[in-house]
Amino acid sequence: MRSLVQFFIERKMFLDIVLIAVFLFGYISITNSRKEGFPEISLNKVIVQTIYPGASAKDVEINVTAKIEDQIKEVEGIKEILSYSEEGISKIEIQGLEKLKPSQFQKLFSDIENAISKIDDLPSNIKGKPSVQEAKTSDVPVLEISYTGNYEKLKPYLESVKEKMRELKGISKVDIIGLSDEELRKKIDPIQARKNFLDIRAIANLLKVRNQEGSGGIIYAGDSERKVVLEGKFKNTEELLNTELVTNEIGNSIRLKDIAKLEYVPEDKKLIVRNNGQQGAVLAIRKLGSEDLLKTVDLVNDLLKKEILPEGINYTILFDQSALTRERISLLVGNSIMGFILVLSVLFYFLNFQTAFWTAFGIPFSLFGMLIFLKLMDISINLISLAGFIIIIGMLVDDAVVIAEEYNTNLEKGMGKVDSAINAVQRMWSPVLASSLTTMIAFAPLFLVGGFPGAFIWTIPLMVIVGLSISLVESFFLLPSHLVHSNIRKFQEKKLMTILEKVYRKSLIWALLNKYKVLLTVILLLAVSLFLLKNKVKKDPFPQDAAEGFSILLTFPLGSTFLQTENRIKK
C-alpha cells in the first residue's frame, strides 16, 4: 500500500491526466449513453389476438379462444394462460416460466406459433390469422397525445401526423386509438331486392364468390407450361356496383347498383375515445428499444410545435414517459451539487478549504467514473440505474473524510506532508475498506432476487458496488496526492470541535461504565422496532400513493347496447 500511495504522490502529472480523462470520458458517456424510462427486458409473455368481426363474446369464446387454448396448453414452458373474450375479439396472454433463458423463450414462442398454425377449424370469417406477438417493456408507449375534434377533420389530420412521426429517428410504431378505418357499406333496398327474389344472405354469398383470386393450376403444352392465375377481386367501387347478381334466360341481369347504394363509414370497433368529455382520439407513440428516450421525445415535441392545427382540433400531452426520467436526472444533479456544497462547508469549518475541496471532489469524480462504467457495460441510464446513483451519493465521501482527517491530524503531530499522507492511508485503509465492504455485502443479495423484479433492480446493487469501489480508489491513491500538493497549513482547532469532543468523551466513558444498561437499552429498541415493523408499518412493494391517474371499470347489465353505455358514461 505504501509504494502505491507514494507512486501517485510522486507522479502529479500522471494524476492530472487521469482526472482529465475521467471527466472527459464521463461527459462523453453521459451524452452518448442511451436514456430510457425502464430497462428493456423480456417479460417472457406471448400475446395471441384474433379479430372475429360481428361475433358475440360467447361466440368468440367457443369458436376461437377455447380452440386456441386447447391447442397451446400442452406446450412446454408455460406458467399461466389468461384469456379474454370480448365482442369481436379474442385475446390470450401466455406467461412463460420466469426461469426461461432468452433462447428457451424463443423456442417457446416458436412452439406456440406452430401449435396455432395447426388449428384448421377456426371460423372462416375471422380477420386474417391469429396475431402472435412477444410482450416487452418497450411495448409501453413513450408518449400519448390526446386530440379532440370531429371525425371528418381528425381522421385525415392524424393520418398525416402519423406518417410524419414514423419518419422520425427512433420511432418504431405510431397507433391511432379511437379513430376507426373507413369501411365500404352496402345499403340494400329491401323492396327492390324482394322484387328480384334476392335476400341479404344470397347477395353476400354472390359477392363473396365474385371477390376471389388464387391459382387455377398449370397447363402443360408440349415442352412448356403455363400457370393459371384467377384474378377476380374488386379493384374499385364501379366493378363492385356492376357485379351481376341474377341473369335471366334472355341475358337481362340485375346488378348490385340496381338494388343497393355504397357509402364509406367508420368501421365499428366498439370503442369511443373522449378527452375531457369531447370526442377525440389518442396517438400512442412507441420507440425502438435501442433508441434514446429523451432524444426521441424531443423530436416528437419539435414536430408538434411546427404543426398547424386545423380549426376545431386541439391536443394535450396525456402521458410522457421521459418526464420521470428527466426528474430523476435533475434529482441526481441537485443532490450531487447539494452534497458537494454541504461537505465543502462542513469540512471547511472544521478543517480548511483545501482539505474540504479535495474531499468533496470525490463526489463528481466517482459519479463520472460510474457513468463511464455504464457506457462500457452498455447499460442504459434509466430510472433503476439512476436510483443506484442517488442511493450512493451520500456514501461517496465517507472514506475520503476519514483519510483527510487523519492526514490533518498527522500534520498537527509534526509529520511531513508525504509521511502524513502515507501514514494516513496505511493506518486507515483496512477499517475504511471493511466499512465499504459491509455496505457492498448488504446490497449484494439484491443480485439473487429472481424473476422479473430481479431483472429490473440488479443495476441498483451494481451501481452501489461500483461507486464505492471508485470512491475507495480515489480516497487511497488520488486524495493523498491532492492533499500533499496543496498548500495546507496547520490549523487551530475550532471551539465547537473542542466542545463536541468533550461531550463525546464523557458519553463514551459513561457507556463503558454502564455497558449492561446500554446493551439492554439497545435490545429493547431493537425489539420495539421489530414489533412496529411487523404490526404497524404498511408493506407494499409497489405503493400507489403518488399515482398520476386511476381507472374506473363499469359493468352494465347483460344486453346493454353500445349507445346506452355511452349515454350513461356521459351522465
DSSP state of 262: E
Q: Taking 60 as the threshold, does the pLDDT of residue 26 lie above it?
A: yes
Predicted pLDDT at 385: 84
Q: For the residues 197-204, what does the mean pLDDT come to?
A: 80
Phi then psi for residue 80, to 5 deg, are: -155, 145
229 strand-pairing partners: 215
**Which range scores top for mean pLDDT: 35-44, 146-155, 296-305, 490-499?**
296-305
Residues 6+ apart with CB under 8 A from 420: 407, 410, 411, 484
Phi then psi for residue 328, to 5 deg, are: -65, -40
Q: What whole-number percentage of the chain has pLDDT above 70?
A: 93
Distance, in Å, from the CA atom of 223 to the CA atom of 227, rounded to the nearest integer, reads 14
Distance, in Å, from the CA atom of 285 to the CA atom of 171, rounded to the nearest integer, reads 7
Predicted pLDDT at 345: 84
204 neighbors 245 (Cβ within 8 angstroms)? no
Average pLDDT, the chain: 82
Q: What whole-number percentage of the chain has pLDDT above 90?
A: 7
Predicted pLDDT at 491: 59
Predicted pLDDT at 492: 63
Predicted pLDDT at 529: 92
Q: Taking 60 as the threshold, does the pLDDT of residue 16 lie above it?
A: yes
Predicted pLDDT at 489: 63
Residue in this structure with the C-alpha cell 389518442, named with its chain if needed: 282
Predicted pLDDT at 526: 94
Predicted pLDDT at 268: 65
Q: Is 210 exposed, middle or buried (0-12, 13-18, 19+ CB in 10 A)?
A: middle
Predicted pLDDT at 541: 59
Span 512-542, pLDDT tens digits: 999 899 999 999 999 999 999 888 887 765 5
Q: Lowest mean pLDDT: which of 36-50, 261-275, 279-293?
A: 261-275
245 neighbors 203 (Cβ within 8 angstroms)? yes
Distance, in Å, from the CA atom of 81 to the CA atom of 108, rounded to the nearest integer, reads 13
Q: Taking 60 as the threshold, does the pLDDT of residue 190 lie above it?
A: yes
Q: Taking 60 as the threshold, does the pLDDT of residue 281 lie above it?
A: yes
Q: Taking 60 as the threshold, does the pLDDT of residue 545 lie above it?
A: no
132 strand-pairing partners: 48
Number of H helices, E strands in the chain: 23, 15
Predicted pLDDT at 237: 78
Predicted pLDDT at 518: 92
Distance, in Å, from the CA atom of 221 to the CA atom of 224, rounded to the nearest integer, reads 5
Q: Taking 70 as the threshold, does the pLDDT of residue 214 lie above it?
A: no
Residue in this structure with the C-alpha cell 389530420, named with its chain if needed: 157
Q: For the residues 257-265, what does the mean pLDDT come to?
A: 78
> pTM higher than 0.75, yes or no?
no
175 strand-pairing partners: 284
**Binning pLDDT at 50, 70 and 90, where does residue 510 land?**
very high
Predicted pLDDT at 104: 85
Distance, in Å, from the CA atom of 181 to the CA atom of 193, rounded to the nearest integer, reads 29
Phi then psi for residue 147, to 5 deg, are: -115, 150
Q: Taking 60 as the threshold, does the pLDDT of residue 546 lie above it?
A: no
Q: For the residues 462-481, what does the mean pLDDT come to?
A: 89
Residues 6+ apart with CB under 8 A from 511: 518
41 neighbors 456 (Cβ within 8 angstroms)? yes
Q: Lowest mean pLDDT: which of 35-49, 173-187, 227-241, 417-431?
A: 227-241
Predicted pLDDT at 24: 92
Alpha helices by DSSP H, 283-416: 293-306, 321-350, 353-360, 362-376, 383-392, 398-412
Q: Taking 90 as the threshold, does the pLDDT of residue 156 lie above it?
A: no
pLDDT greater at residue 217 or residue 312: 312
Span 53-83, pLDDT tens digits: 878 888 888 888 888 888 888 888 888 889 8
